[in-house]
Amino acid sequence: MTSFRSERMQGIEKTLIRRVNDRADASCINLGLGELAFPTPAAILDRLREEIRSWPLGYTANAGLPELRRLIAARSGPGVTPDQVCVTIGAEEAIFALLMILVCPGDEVLVPDPGFPAYPTIVRMAGGTPVPYTLSPEKSFALDRTEVAGRVTPRTRIMIVNSPNNPTGAVYSEEDLKALAALCRRHDLTVLSDEVYREILFEGRAESISRFYDRTVIIDSLSKTYSMTGWRLGWCVAPPELNPMVVTFNQLAISCPPAVCQRAAILALQGVADDEKRRNIEELKRRRDLAAASFRRFTDLKFMTPQGAFYIYADISPKMAPGARSLDVAFDLIDKAKVVTIPGEAFGRSASRFLRVSFAAPAADIEEGIRRIGLFFGRP
């Protein structure tokens, strides 16, 4: 039998997020996947039904439809041009493309810990070394400038920033982002700013580091803000000298994003669904408050009420036996309590004894799921 070998895929496995969800069945309450329980906005679907027959739906430009790139540029800050925009298959393809382009063997990339698990995995696939910078639970998962500065070496090329953060919901302050920009400028680093949760915000402001540092690539998508995960439509906004390489990578990887998905994105960014988006975020805030109240009512776990995104990151360390893993707890919750959560170790080492619990699910599922978590940990 033929054996297939790939050095690039050596040690690369499906993320713990997917492995946990694969273990669940239809009887489980799913507080795991990062997906809003809201449908695609009706205003977008209605317009699609009305206009789809009149649209050309063949190949588009590799970088995306010109009208869509203009809309993305307009929302990305003053002075941004459509030539800096490349439309991708979701934000994750943009992350993959950029890391494959920018990372050479031996390069180091600063990744948040805790943070989205695809970051270090793709860095390794590109031949680089992911270097975690800790977002400490003792400091409410805030950006620690001293910690980041201590991780920079002569081999550091890129820093990945994610605010609001997945999995913690923490939002980085303007002061910290300015200091981070100064650090990156001093060391000539490229910043990848993952902003897919930037509009899922409940208090304050979520600034983009691109305001303070020109050598920033903004990564965004429709998935979270417009509840359009299955449409797989994202983009990056890159410095002018970098974007042509991203467009070429896009052409070789996917040719172009689906034309109908780009048309849906144009409708979204034109504002046809803004009322629904606003109502959804208001409802998400109510669900956040319900989740926080349910944790206080049904459990004695410590957690931080998030400013953004749609996760509560709960500390289960007092409930764990020595040597136990949060993955084991997550599997037990599925098997014994029929609740899906994501183990902290999926997101890094610094807060591995945590569980990520999504409040994007329907309200009844949030309350019942957290009640079951409390029962599982022995809270009556």
Q: What is the pLDDT of residues 157-203, one digit of tens each?
A: 999 999 999 999 999 999 999 999 999 999 999 999 999 999 999 98
Q: State pTM to two decimals.
A: 0.94
Average pLDDT of every residue of the chain: 94
According to the CATH classification, is domain 42-270 in 3.40.640.10?
A: yes
State pLDDT tens for residues 271-288.
999 999 999 999 999 999
What dotted CATH number matches 16-40+275-376?
A: 3.90.1150.10
User: In 3-state terms, what secondary structure has residue 140?
Assistant: coil
State pLDDT tens for residues 76-116.
999 999 999 999 999 999 999 999 999 999 999 999 999 99
Give the pLDDT of residue 166: 96
On the 0-12 / 13-18 / 19+ scale of CB atoms within 10 A, 209 is buried
User: In 3-state terms, what secondary structure has residue 315?
Assistant: strand
Residues of the chain with CATH 3.40.640.10: 42-270
Give the pLDDT of residue 380: 58
Residues of the chain with CATH 3.90.1150.10: 16-40+275-376
Q: What average pLDDT score do residues 251-276 get?
A: 97
Q: Where are the alpha helices (DSSP H) in the chain?
A: 16-23, 42-51, 66-75, 90-102, 118-125, 145-151, 174-187, 243-254, 259-270, 274-298, 326-332, 363-376
Give the pLDDT of residue 3: 73
Give the pLDDT of residue 1: 59
- Measured distance CA(231)–CA(87) in Å, rounded: 13
State pLDDT tens for residues 314-352.
999 999 988 889 999 999 999 999 999 999 999 999 888
Q: Is the pLDDT of residue 142 over 70?
A: yes
Q: What average pLDDT score do residues 358-362 get?
A: 96
Percent of the chain beyond pLDDT 70? 99
